[in-house]
């Protein structure tokens, strides 16, 4: 799906204010409220819109954030990433290619920071690590940069695989649904009907 001007405007408004009403968005963008609501449903289905949250300020909460770099064997990268992912204090995990994993970690105080680092030293797959505490956050924006013409990679609504070819579009209850192949269309219809029967 290629994002057009309307998509970009809607997503920008939502990125700034997740509480914006569909009516207000519609007014600002110059489309109807049902258009906004069906587009938002589509963004959610496509996985472009992962959810709505509130921004809290770590500084105001007196928390400490660190940027952590971990070096391990390339074969251990996914194991380390899974371990980090499971920890509540670890907020972001990035695989850097090769043997590096980076993470942003937020700890409630220095005692927790010291404990976290001590635990890290016990993980045998970690060959080396380094961390720096964030002293000040100069800029912090949501990662997606919105621009007209961006090609959002659609995932098949049934098998969830990314679709690089033209998807098969079917209309169910007035909404567009995207599938990768006719087999998925068949299975998806079955699943959809079953779900509807259950409602
Ligand atoms: Zn599929």
Q: Give the pLDDT score at 199.
A: 57
Q: What is the pLDDT of residues 151-183, one digit of tens each?
A: 788 888 888 888 877 788 898 887 778 899 999
Q: How far is the CA of 11 from the centre of ligand 1 (A)?
A: 26
Task: For 50-59, write each residue's pLDDT tens digit.
Answer: 888 888 888 8
Cα(27) to ligand 1 centroid in Å equals 36
Complete edge-to-edge strand list for the sheet that includes strand 90-95 = 90-95, 100-107, 64-72, 126-133
pLDDT of residue 189: 94
Tell how far the Cα of 179 is from the centroid of ligand 1, in angstroms: 5
pLDDT for the residue numbered 85: 92
CA 52 – ligand 1 centroid, Å:
27
pLDDT digits (tens, 9 = 90+) for 17-74: 999 999 999 999 999 999 999 999 989 887 889 888 888 888 888 899 999 999 999 9
pTM of the entire predicted model: 0.67
What is the torsional sign of CA 53, 149, 157, 193?
positive
End-to-end CA distance of the chain: 30
Query: Please, what sign has the CA dihedral across residues 115, 116, 117, 120?
Result: positive
């Amino acid at each position: 799906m290629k994002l057009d001007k309307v998509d970009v405007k809607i997503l920008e408004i939502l990125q700034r204010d997740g509480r914006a009403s569909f009516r207000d968005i519609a007014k600002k963008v110059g489309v109807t409220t049902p258009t906004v609501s069906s587009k938002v449903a589509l963004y959610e289905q496509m996985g472009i819109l992962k959810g709505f949250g509130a921004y809290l300020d770590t500084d105001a909460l007196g928390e400490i954030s660190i940027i952590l770099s971990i070096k391990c064997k390339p074969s251990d990268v996914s194991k380390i990433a899974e371990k980090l992912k499971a920890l509540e204090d670890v907020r972001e995990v990035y695989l850097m290619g090769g043997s590096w994993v980076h993470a942003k970690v937020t700890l409630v105080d220095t005692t927790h920071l010291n404990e976290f680092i001590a635990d890290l030293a016990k993980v045998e797959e970690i060959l080396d690590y380094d961390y720096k505490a964030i002293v000040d956050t100069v800029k912090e924006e949501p990662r997606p940069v919105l621009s007209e013409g961006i090609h959002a990679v659609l995932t098949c609504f049934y098998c969830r695989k990314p679709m690089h070819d033209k998807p098969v579009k079917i209309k169910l209850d007035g909404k567009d649904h995207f599938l990768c192949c006719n087999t998925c269309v068949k299975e998806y219809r079955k699943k959809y009907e079953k779900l509807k029967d259950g409602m």
